[in-house]
Amino acid sequence: MGTTRPRNARDSRQLWPRTSSARLTAAAWIAGITVTALIIWSPYLVFGYRNPSLHLVLDSVDACVALLVAYLVYGRYQRSGTWQDLLLFNGLMLLAAAGLGLSWVTSPVGGLDAGTLDIWLPLAIRLAGALLIVAAALSDPRLTRRLTPRRLHALAPVALIAVVSLALWAVGDVLPVAFDQSFVPASAQKAILTGHPVLLVAQGLAALSFLVASIAFATQPARRGDELVRWLGPACALGGFARINYVLFPSLYTDWLYTGDILRTGCYLLLLVGATREIRQY
């Protein structure tokens, strides 16, 4: 009688055909460049639709996926103790928190104009998350020092959000209007490129961080065989081009659904694929 081999990680990978991270990342770059070029140079392409409910659904789904992947990375960090997993966990937690209603939480704050704290706070948290993710991509796979219990590291995103919130609230009276939320575009035929200069610079810096991280992550799986990291490259590429599209039209702060929102959701779907494949190996 023949014997049945137990299914291990290698058997699982055979059920999921492997594609190199470099190819996946290149495909994501091509998709992002194509979409952005069509928006800039096509005078007839309608790329925006006003749909508040769908906008809210995508925001919630993206934040929940980021939270799920962050939980998975935190489990990896508990086992590995590496700087990359720690930084990646913190970055994903900040992105999830920014998408889970920071604008709604800050909107009722009395005495502050709309378009100030309710935009600057999520923007600062998203930028911090992007910087942590590129730091994770560029970090060495060295172990963190056990100066504090690793479980306490899960509180770092909460502490950062609290500090940034208090700092922005303290200077809330002098915060400029980042984006006029009462603006409703008459046409979706062209990008509007509006908003405070700091808002545009922050989105551009976040885009650069994601694009650099995509290249850095794409070079790692070949020598590490890490399923989740293999999908971080293309995911960060779409995330970077989503931020470029937010520079052209900051739809994060409107009821309009634009290509930036679609690219951002694509980023989180790729993260979900990577998390699913990693869980399948377990």
> Residue 185 in contact with residue 48, Cβ under 8 Å?
yes
> Residue 274 in contact with residue 67, Cβ under 8 Å?
no
Q: Is residue 7 in a domain? A: no
Q: Is residue 148 in a domain? A: yes
User: How far is residue 84 from each of residues 77, 95, 277, 279, measured CA to CA in Å?
Assistant: 8, 17, 19, 19
**pLDDT single digits (tens) 75-84:** 888 888 888 8
Strand intervals (E) in the chain: 49-50, 256-257
Domain that holds residue 46: 20-174+188-281
Q: Is residue 9 in a domain? A: no
Report pLDDT for 148. Answer: 56
**pLDDT single digits (tens) 176-195:** 877 765 555 545 555 566 77
Q: Is residue 269 in a domain? A: yes
Paired tokens of 129 = 């998350």
Q: Is residue 6 in a domain? A: no
Q: How many CB atoms lie within 10 A of CB 30?
A: 11
pLDDT over 50 (residue 8)? no
Q: How many CB atoms lie within 10 A of CB 28?
A: 26
**pLDDT single digits (tens) 130-174:** 999 999 999 876 665 554 566 677 788 888 888 888 888 777 677
> Residue 114 in contact with residue 107, Cβ under 8 Å?
yes
Band of pLDDT at residue 17, cut at 50, 70 and 90: very low
Where does residue 233 rank: exposed (0-12), middle (13-18), buried (19+ CB within 10 A)? buried
CATH code for the domain in which residue 40 is found: 1.20.1070
Q: Is residue 2 in a domain? A: no
Q: Is residue 71 in a domain? A: yes
Paired tokens of 212 = 């650099």
- Look at the chain and report how many structural domains it folds into: 1
Q: How far apart are CA 255 and CA 258, in angstroms?
A: 10
**pLDDT single digits (tens) 218-267:** 988 665 667 888 899 999 999 999 999 888 887 777 777 888 899 999 99
Q: How far apart are CA 130 and CA 146, in angstroms?
A: 25
Report pLDDT for 53. Answer: 85
The model's pTM:
0.84
Q: Is residue 4 in a domain? A: no
